[in-house]
Amino acid sequence: MRSIWRTLGRDTAAGIAAVCLAVGVIGVSYGATAVTTGLPPWLPIVLGVVVLAGGAEFLFIGIVAAGGSPIAAVLAGLVVNARHLPYGLSVPDVVGSGWRRLLGVHLMNDESVAMALAQPDIERKRAAYWACGFGVLLAWPGGAAVGVLIGTFVPDTAAFGLDAVFPAVLLALIVPALREKATLRAALVGAAVAVASAPFLPAGMPVLVALSGLLVAGRGSDQRMGDAAGPESSELVSKSDRTTCESGAE
């Protein structure tokens, strides 16, 4: 554990601590919300450990509390958690293999992936991923347990602005990546598509539709690669033509 913190450095470690603190605060809101809607106190804590995905858990609690079918709530949670598919494709060399991969996939969440991708090399990516993943594993159900205890005294957690902390932290994590034009363009397109589709799609689906912004980023990347290869390709063609002409002259 000491080697992980040494690899991360003070600034990254402080960032992970701040993220885990924010997750814990949102966990308090989550646990309190679950209790105030009449659900059993153990449910948010168990979901926090087993599922470990805040968005899907909030959606599950909301559907069940509104009288929806638990099966429908589970299916909706699976749809929201489908965002982990591209997450897994972005960090395959970070989660490891064998039993470590099983544990690493369980620790995969928005925060651990964002922290890993923000690091410059593979060693720091792995250290950030595992440190943040285990931190969230402790902070999220721990915060939910605290929320369960105080939920009776805080009937409206949104009135305290606790629901705004989590997205604010994620925004702070992705802002540095938006300096690249391709990333910014993909983010803007994805956000526009999500906002436009939100009135017509069930909760959680606009997030998945927003992944269409990646197509814009991919197209821009292919175009840049083509432009970069253009001069070299032209030079190779010219050399080939000159060689052919010289051979013909001989």
- pLDDT cut 70: percent of the chain above it: 72
Domain spans of the chain, in order of start? 2-177, 180-250
Contacts of 94 (CB under 8 A, 6+ apart): 104, 116, 122, 125, 126, 129
pLDDT at 53: 85
pLDDT at 225: 44
Alpha-carbon dihedral angle through residues 37, 50, 164, 5, given to the nearest 10 degrees: 150
CB 87 within 8 Å of CB 113: yes
Taking the CA of residue 78 as centre, how many other CA atoms within 13 Å lie in the half-sphere pointing to its CB? 6
* pLDDT over 70 (residue 42): yes
* pLDDT over 50 (residue 7): yes
State the DSSP string of 45-76.
Answer: HHHHHHT--HHHHHHHHHHHHTT--HHHHHHH
Name the burial class of residue 53, with classes exposed (0-12), middle (13-18) and buried (19+) by CB atoms within 10 angstroms of its CB. buried
Type of residue found at 183: T
Q: Higher model confidence: residue 171 or residue 11?
A: 11
Name the burial class of residue 154, with classes exposed (0-12), middle (13-18) and buried (19+) by CB atoms within 10 angstroms of its CB. middle
pLDDT tens digits, one per residue of 205-237 = 676 677 777 777 656 555 554 454 444 444 544
Report residue 116 CA to chain centroid gap. Answer: 10
Q: Higher model confidence: residue 189 or residue 160?
A: 189
In this prediction, residues 128-157 reach a mean pLDDT of 86
Report how far residue 127's alpha carbon sits from residue 133's, in angstroms, rounded to the nearest whole number.
Answer: 10
* pLDDT over 70 (residue 3): no
In this prediction, residues 152-160 reach a mean pLDDT of 66
CB 90 within 8 Å of CB 117: yes
